[in-house]
Amino acid sequence: MEESPPDTEKAARSNAGERSFGAIPAGLLKYLEARGVLLSIEGQEAVQQLLRILLRAVLAAIFGLGGWMMLMAGIVSYLALQQEWTWTRATVAGGMINLVLAAAFAFAAWRRLGSARWFEHTLNEFGKDRKWLDQLNDKH
């Protein structure tokens, strides 16, 4: 029995399907896939980092509020009884101290959130890609 030659048109189409998706070259698809994977990994890391920050902020708020209430009650009582301040004067002084402390902690949290590195590797890779594309454009 004689074997028939393979259908070259069918083989060419199946090989082309392995190399590209429609009009998109396979190299570009792999590149986009790699960037997507990197973005996904960094997205997961960013969510974990944000959750850790959020958990710490919630715990700090809970314990801080409890401690703040007890401390303020003690300070106001001390000032009113021992220093012979009026309750109004003692509560205003305690409130002012609390506002200053709240502003300091809010500023510290804002700095921490602002210094977090979000999607660092992806942004670095995009920068490299931009330089590479600029070099390609300069050659043509």
Residue range of the domain that includes 30: 25-139
In a domain, 82, yes or no: yes
On the question of pLDDT at 67 being above 70, the answer is yes
On the question of pLDDT at 13 being above 50, the answer is no
**Cβ neighbours of residue 39 closer than 8 Å, sequence gap 6 or more:** 119, 122
Higher pLDDT, 115 or 89: 89
Give the model's pLDDT for residue 140: 63
Average pLDDT of every residue of the chain: 79
> What mean pLDDT do residues 77-101 have?
89
Higher pLDDT, 114 or 54: 54
For 76, counting Cβ atoms within 10 Å of its Cβ (0-12 exposed, 13-18 middle, 19+ buried), the class is buried
In a domain, 48, yes or no: yes
In a domain, 9, yes or no: no
The pTM of this model reads 0.41
In a domain, 111, yes or no: yes
